[in-house]
Structure 1
Amino acid sequence: MTITYVWRGDIDNWALNELHAEGFGCPVGQTDWRARLHRHSLGWVCAREDDRLVGFVNVAWDGGVHAFVLDTVVAHRNRSHGVGAALVRAAADGSRAAGCEWLHVDFEDHLRSFYFDACGFRETAAGLIAL
């Protein structure tokens, strides 16, 4: 399995909507990812096996030194092969190259091992308001 990772790679809305639906267990949406990412994101990473989108991570930011990992997703058949960790590494590299000093992530408890052990994040105190 040869996977390529591209910072700010070309986005096919249909392929990303399908990957999101598979990864997050929801119906296939109609999100215009290309417009959303170009409008709101510092960058994103696309993982491709041949021409097939098999992973994605979005990196939002504050316009300064803080970047935020969002929407990390890997196709089911490509999980447990290091694709997710490689996506996050590429997101960190792209964020660092853009001048960011911090990369933040929040996640559900079942993903602790992935983000702390596989990706190298460390635990911090944070707050959250459900809107």
Structure 2
Amino acid sequence: MTITYEWRGDFENASLDALHADGFGTPVARTDWRARLEDHSLGWVCAWEDGVLSGFVNVGWDGGAHAFILDTVVAVDRRSRGVGAALVAVAVKEARAAKCEWLHVDFEEHLRAFYFDACGFRETSAGLIAL
């Protein structure tokens, strides 16, 4: 089966809600993803397999030099096949094409190898305040 990747791909909110619930182990929400992404994102990448949304990453930005990887998610039954790294690779390419100078990501410790080894991010110092 072939997986295709689409920058600023069209999707149904319910499909992205279901993917988030599956990928993050949370209840299905009813989020207006389309409005959220149109208002706050440089773009997003959808991974499709046989017409099913199987992966997604959001690329937020500051309107200038900085873009941010958010909500990288791959369906549980499609993991360990390079889908996540391919999503991020498209995000990197498109952020670069938009003339962004930096692509940031923060993540939980168990995702360290994914972002550093599979995706090519490098370690930096950063700060965080829990709100």
Q: What is the TM-score with the length of structure 1 in the denominator?
A: 0.99
2:106 matched to 1:77?
no
1:19-75 deviation per Cα after TM superposition (whole angstroms, max 9, x unaligned): 000111110000000110001100000000021000000000011010000000000
SS at match of 2:85: helix
Q: Is structure 2 residue 16 aligned with structure 1 residue 23?
A: no
Pairwise CA RMSD of aligned residues? Answer: 0.5
**1:9 has 2:9 as partner:** yes
Runs of at least 4 residues off by over 6 Å: none
- In structure 2, the residue matched to 1:43 is 43
| Structure 2: runs of 5 or more not aligned | none
1: CA distance, partners of 2:93 / 2:32: 25
- Counterpart of 1:58 in structure 2: which amino acid? N
**Equivalent residue for 2:110?**
110
CA contact (8 A) 1:19 1:73 kept: yes
Q: Distance in 2 between matches of 1:64 and 1:124?
A: 20
Residues 42, 59 of structure 1: 8 Å contact kept: yes
Q: Identity over aligned residues, as a percent?
A: 74
Query: What's the secondary structure of 1:35's corresponding residue?
Result: helix
- For residue 41 of structure 2, what is the amino acid of its counterpart? S
The amino acid of 1:71's aligned partner reads: D
CA distance in 1 between counterparts of 2:53 and 2:81 reads: 15
Structure 1 residue ranges without an equivalent (≥5): none
